Amino acid sequence: MTSTTDCKGVPARQEGSLKTESSSGRIYWKLRQTLPPWIWPQDKSSSGRIYWKLRQTLPTSQDDDDDDDAETEDLAAAMNRLKGTPSWLMFSLMLSAALVLHAASEDDSDDDGAMGEGLVEEYIMARDEAEEELAEFYKSAGPGHEPDQHSAAMENLRETPKIREPHTLEDQPRTETEDLAAAMNRLKGTPPWLMFSLMLSAALALHAASEDDSDDDGAMGEGLVEEYIMARDEAEEELAEFYKSAGPGHEPDQHSAAMENLREIRERLQSSGLPSGELAALLDGDPGIVSRRIRKNIRRQSIQKRTIRADEKFRWTGGILPYVFTDAITAADRTGIFRAMLSFERFTCIRFLPWEKVDTITTNQKLGLDHESYLKFIIGTGCSSYVGNLRKKKGGQAISCCKDRQCVHELAHALGEAHEQQSPNPDRFRMIRTNFDAIKSDYISTYKSNSAESTESLGYDLSSIMHYNTGTFALPGQTTFIKLFPELPNSGNFYYTFREVSLMHKCQDKCIDFPLICENDGYLTLVDNKCGCVCIPGLDPASGCTHIFQKDPDGISFPDGNYALPAVNSGCPDDSFTIGTRTQINDGKNSKSTLFSLGGDVTETKVEQQFCVKESSSNETRWTSGNFCIYRRGGKCPKGFVAGFVQYSDHPSEDAHNAMSGEMPDGVFGDDTRFEYCCANTGFSNRHGLFLPSRKPFALIKRRNEDCQRVRGMHVEVNSIDIDNSEMSATQPATGGDHPVYRKNKKTKEFATAFCVYKPAMIECGDIVKVDNSNSEVTINSPQASELECFWLIKAPAGERLQLDFTDFQIKGKPGHCIDNLEVRYVRPGQPGINLCGNRWDKTIISINNTIHLRLSTYGDSTSRFTASIKLVTDSDLCYAASDRGMTYDGDVNFTRDFEPCLHWAEVSHCEMSPYITEGFTSILEDNKCRNPNQGTGFQP
């Protein structure tokens, strides 16, 4: 067992051994924080009279044990059962307990009550004297020297009555319940007015703890653990540097800024309610809490080891993350976790492999990894993860991943990604202004910048999945930061997170023979298990991201295997499919969507559906991750799909029969109809597109409660069919497994199915344009046609900026209700921009960096078009100095960032930040005197 030390080197009470299995750690620590230290004794004795008085007062259960020898644990168990009690009842119980305790204490003849009056002060003074003596000793102690444990100060401390010495290393660990009971016992003799105050405080603390149960652990995982690890790394790096040149007897400064920061965060972590096992594992080897004796023996070795870990940036060797699921992880949880895992696996070289231990051999050893770490998926009270590979020797590192997009966030933490709003990249200060006064006090540190030494940044991304939104940990009615470009989206983007994870784990080294360099913010990695470029939207991976994507790559085809797709009205997508038809007769409540491009037809009494059936010798080809359904063929689903079925109750007659022809998917096709489905839920439909042939229409079946799966180079149209179920059939309608069918309301008999019909977009358009001093201005004229999907990337030399103006702007729709759409990305080309539409756009748009990325999407019969002028911005055009990226004012210019005239100071009182808001005025002007008012935000760079 390892003892802890306080700031002066004296070993303190062993808190890491407290257990939380029997009650809420949060409630325990709330009591520890709320009630004064003197009520927490060092012995386990208790007054029988107080115990039985409390037994008569506090609520009991049928499970109570009447064993007198267990009275301490029994009292604590009663306290434990109070978790979740309404505050008014808790107040009453605690007040009653206070009166009972006071009455019991009046009957006692000993002088324990004097402890609260003088003994604590005596102990504190004695301890201070002993600690000062130890501090003086350590200033000059040589190697192997130990302090005199029998000095006058230490003997005085030891003799202080009824309080166990904090330096005694033989203390046995006290369980949390024992500690609570002993604390109640210590209250004996307390004056009633103070008892009333203490119990009321405890009641409020318990009530607050029960109300906060769903928030704090998640917040801790999102900020506090990550913050602790980073603070610890900074402290260990400082110690490592110290030991490189330290002479004999020299000791590092335990009160340096790094050590003080670590101490403050560690204390908050110890009070956070983290389970004792996880807390002990996390604090193991903390340079601020090991005893001097232990530090002398192992510190140099542990620091050296951790320096190597810091140098590796917590990477997972080979990009391999072994993992296990605890029993608490349900099948639905696993689906959401796998969905996040497969997103990383599709666009990086990261691979998640099940961890196991057979005999004495672990998965890590079989794979030849240089560590024994693995992820252990648990169900916590929130979403949380440690940052990077902790390189634990055993036990795995816990991750409460939640599922889906949140799990992407947590897995990115496990892979080493920090929060984006803490990025040390200077671009962060050009994009947001943090309002620390609006952040809950416990979470202010989650908005402070990380050090550039401990956190590598490849660029700031306001839209990152790792970025908090403006309401995260905000005080009621406030926002934690102001977006200086409020029109830009905040949070949810995967692109740069995956790019950083890939580069951090050197995925490009797995493709050393790849012939291309991936440019324009692209990156080289494993894409669908093959080496290739991942590009920003619209660029062609086959060109190394140097050309616009304007045609399918050679050899692209639909996956092999046995399955069927819904047929469209033009037939099947290629000759590898065979057409089939099924006709159902029913009671007369069938319907179809207004937009209907599927094969077959739907009337009130008849539904005719057509299928494109594929059959090949191999069913082992895996589709890329996505969210859609197909029809089953050949008795089993392709890899990555889950089977399901839908049973219809048809009503054929002598005059109208159910029928089928051609090749059919799996099912039962007699007087009733049953379809067998295969459904994938392995990606994010609106984030990552499938790479399928895009020059002929085809259809997929839409998953319930999901958007249509994106397909590169295609536009999508949603069709639907409602099929009635007859009450006359002997077969009951039914569904099972993972299927796409839904009811529009609980009362209806009809089964509804939605289909995603994909139509080729016109992609033979767009360009990559370079602007420089020799070609300082260009004009772009868009085509005018239906189903356009055109991209333009305009590039200036690094460090330069671009100015965009529209001389003609006709994009169908109106702001907020666009039919067609022009997206303008003016920060980073992989970062989502603003979506424009309407009959005019008069504002000038200035790029933040050296690129502007345009995407024009038109649908149906469209007359949308634009003409744009893009020119290089010179220093004379700016209201600030380009040399320091706008951190100082440069000239008497009265224009905003988009060259609109500034408002007068008297006209900006309506803005979120203005000179009239005194508490924010000075903070937003720090280090930057160029703040031209603009409607909506008040100040802009």
Binding site feature residues for Zn(2+): 409, 413, 419
Q: Determine which one of 410, 417, 420, 706 is catalytic.
A: 410
Q: How far apart are CA 61 and CA 506, in angstroms?
A: 59
Beta bridge partners of 698: 758
Is residue 906 classed as helix, strand or coil in its secondary structure?
A: helix
Cβ-Cβ contacts under 8 Å for 703 (sequence gap 6 or more)? 627, 628, 629, 679, 681, 685, 740
Cβ-Cβ contacts under 8 Å for 921 (sequence gap 6 or more)? 913, 914, 915
Rounded to the nearest 5°, which phi and psi values hold at 719?
-110, 160
- Nearest CA to 181 out of 118, 110, 97, 119 is that of 97
- Nearest CA to 480 out of 429, 430, 446 is that of 446
Structure tokens at 263: 């101490």
Task: Tell me 361's DSSP state.
Answer: E
Type of residue at 83: K
Q: How far apart are CA 843 and CA 841, in angstroms?
A: 6
Q: How far apart are CA 606 and CA 583, in angstroms?
A: 7
Rounded CA Rg of the chain: 34
Rounded to the nearest 5°, which phi and psi values hold at 660?
-150, 155
Task: Tell me 621's DSSP state.
Answer: P
Handedness of CA 707, 712, 715, 718 (dihedral sign): negative
Task: Tell me 220's DSSP state.
Answer: I
The single residue listed with the structure tokens 């070609």 is 775
With residue 582 as reference, give the H or E element that holds it.
strand 577-585
Per-residue DSSP letters for 539-556?
B-GGGTS-SB--SPPTT-
Per-residue DSSP letters for 843-877?
--EE-SSSEEEEEEE--SS---EEEEEEEEEPGGG
- Diameter of the chain by CA atoms? 110
Catalytic residue list contains 345: no
Alpha-helix residue ranges (DSSP H) falling in 356-420:
363-366, 404-414
Half-sphere exposure of 341 (CA within 13 A, CB side): 20
Q: Which amino acids are annotated catalytic?
A: 410
